[in-house]
Amino acid sequence: METMNSNSALACRSTRVLAVVGALLLSGCAGMTQTECRSSNWYEVGYRDGDLYGLRPQIDLIAHQCSAFGVTPAEKEYLAGWVDGYRQFIHRMTGADCCAP
């Protein structure tokens, strides 16, 4: 049985990691439905964007998507959630604390 050298194994792991990260990023960019625009907890939406995806705040994109349904998201609540979520993301990724209040 042929064994992989360390470079091949690293390349395979890197490809898997990139695939997972790409899927997460794409799911974070999905459009908001009318139901989501009307019933979302904006703090939780912001927290998810910061924590799960490590994205920059997406409130402008969300506001644009929800404007099609006559809904204006609560920017203050979204950003408060994003700050808390991003703080968790940074801590999980680096082990360091970030963004002290």
Tell me how far apart the alpha carbons of residues 77 and 5 are, in angstroms, rounded to a whole number.
50
Owner of token pair 């459009």: 31
Whether 20 shows a pLDDT value over 60: the answer reads no
Closest by Cα among 36, 30, 50 to 90:
50
**Bigger pLDDT: 62 vs 92:** 62
Same domain membership, residue 35 and residue 22: no
Contact 75, 60 (CB under 8 A): no
Name the residue range of residue 96's domain.
Answer: 31-101
Same domain membership, residue 96 and residue 70: yes
* CB neighbourhood size of 62 (10 A): 23
- Quick one: pLDDT at residue 93? 87
Same domain membership, residue 35 and residue 25: no
Same domain membership, residue 44 and residue 15: no
Record the tokens describing residue 76, joined without a space: 């203050």
pLDDT in tens, 25-70: 444 456 899 999 999 999 999 999 999 878 899 999 999 999 999 9
Same domain membership, residue 71 and residue 23: no
Same domain membership, residue 39 and residue 26: no
Number of domains in the chain: 2
Same domain membership, residue 23 and residue 42: no
